[in-house]
Amino acid sequence: MKIKKWSRWLASGVFAAVILAGVAAMAQQAPSTIDAQDKTDGVYRAIGLGLAAALAVSFSVIGAGYAVGRIGSAAVGALVEKPELLPRTILFVALAEGLAVLGFAFAMMLLQKI
Euclidean distance between the first and the last CA atom of the chain, given in angstroms as a whole number: 46
- Give the residue extent of every domain in the chain: 5-111
- Return the H-helix or E-strand segment holding 40: helix 35-81
CA distance 47 to 49: 6
Please give the CATH topology (third level) of the domain spanning 5-111. F1FO ATP Synthase (1.20.20)
The pLDDT assigned to 46 comes to 86
Written as one letter, the residue type at 71 is I
The pLDDT assigned to 41 comes to 75
The pLDDT assigned to 42 comes to 78
Q: Provide the CB-side half-sphere exposure for 62 (13 A, CA).
A: 10
CA distance 5 to 13: 12
CA distance 80 to 19: 42
State the pTM of this model: 0.61
User: pLDDT tens-digit profile of 78-101?
Assistant: 999 999 999 999 999 998 888 889
The pLDDT assigned to 23 comes to 58
CA distance 85 to 105: 31
Q: Are 85 and 79 a contacting pair, CB within 8 Å?
A: yes
